[in-house]
Amino acid sequence: MVKITFLGHGCTLLEADQGKVVIDPFLTGNPVAKVKPEEIWVDAVLVTHGHGDHLGDTVDIARKNNALVVAPFELATFVGNQGVNAHPMHIGGAREFPFGWVKLVPAAHGSAYVDGNNVVYTGNPCGFLVRMDGRLIYHAGDTGLIADMELLGRLYGIDVALLPIGDNFTMGPDDALEAVKIIKPKVVIPIHYNTWDLIAQDPQAFCERVKAETQSQCVVLEVGESYQL
């Protein structure tokens, strides 16, 4: 069994018998977050790209938990240089960890750590396929609609797809609906919306369209809510 808890924006906690993983732990400064980084207990932190709203509290959480950070090579190097245990991977690569199987998959986006005028490029962004307790979860990260998504559904059989719907920086609802049609996951959970006005969306309206036009279930999680599979 895997329990998926939506912590706001792209931040998602996966808890299985096999282990616990948090993806894109942006909590400090996240206007919708309800938990603090100190409250996160995990074996690993998976980070899709270097933008502040995804890298977030990665270093603090990894340090406190002695957790492994899994990220694309350049970002893993950037994080590893801050004294945490980081495991570099890259798109197309998969690895079996004690806490689960992880594969990095393409995302059409950018990746840099931006601190004022200082921009540190952190390679390519990614999405993650994560298999824990025999369930396959796809966290798309920040991405536009890409045809590669069809392959993920066809080759891996996705149980739950966490897809951004916020528009502006990522897919909006129209493109996310197309993504559902090609990925064909059993369940869709929308993410990356309503954190700020710029990405305001109606997730229920999106789910109604998913239910009307696809075979997938769609579940809206309030911040702090969980879905078990």
Identify what 74 binds: Mn ion, Ni ion, none; CB under 5 to 8 Å per kind: none
The secondary element (H helix, E strand) that includes residue 54 is helix 52-55
Among 9, 20, 51, 103, binds Ni ion (CB under 5 A): 51
Which residue pairs from 146-151 have beta carbons closer than 8 angstroms and sit at least 24 positions apart in sequence? Answer: 146/106, 146/107, 146/108, 147/182, 148/105, 148/106, 149/179, 149/182, 149/183, 150/182, 150/183
Applying the rule CB under 5 A, the residues between 25 and 64 that interact with Mn ion are: 53
Degrees (nearest 5) of the Cα angle 8, 129, 107? Answer: 75
Site string for Ni ion, 141-180 (x = CB under 5 A): -x--------------------------------------
Nearer to Ni ion, 165 or 207 (CB): 165
From the list Ni ion, Mn ion, none, partner contacted by residue 9 (C-beta under 5 to 8 A by kind)? none
The phi and psi torsions of 204 (rounded to 5 degrees) equal -65, -40
Q: Which stretch binds Ni ion (CB under 5 A): 1-9, 43-51, 86-94, 99-107?
A: 43-51
CB of 46 to Ni ion, least distance (A): 15
Q: Could you say whether residue 135 binds Ni ion (CB under 5 A)?
A: no
Q: Which span (4-12, 90-98, 137-145, 192-200) binds Ni ion, by CB under 5 A?
A: 137-145
Angle formed at CA 156 by CA 154 and CA 162, multiple of 5 degrees = 95
Distance CA 207, CA 219 (A): 7
Query: Phi/psi of residue 54, each to 5°?
Result: -130, -45
> Which range in 20-28, 35-43, 134-142, 155-163 contacts Ni ion by CB under 5 A?
134-142
Residue 175: which of Ni ion, Mn ion, none does it interact with, CB under 5 to 8 A by kind?
none
Footprint of Mn ion on 136-165 (CB under 5 A) = 142
Q: Does 167 bind Mn ion (CB under 5 A)?
A: no
Residue 227 CA to residue 224 CA, distance in Å, equals 10
Question: H helices then E strands: how many in the chain?
Answer: 6, 16
Q: Which residues bind Mn ion (CB under 5 A)?
A: 53, 142
Task: Give contact residues for Ni ion (rule: CB under 5 A).
Answer: 51, 142
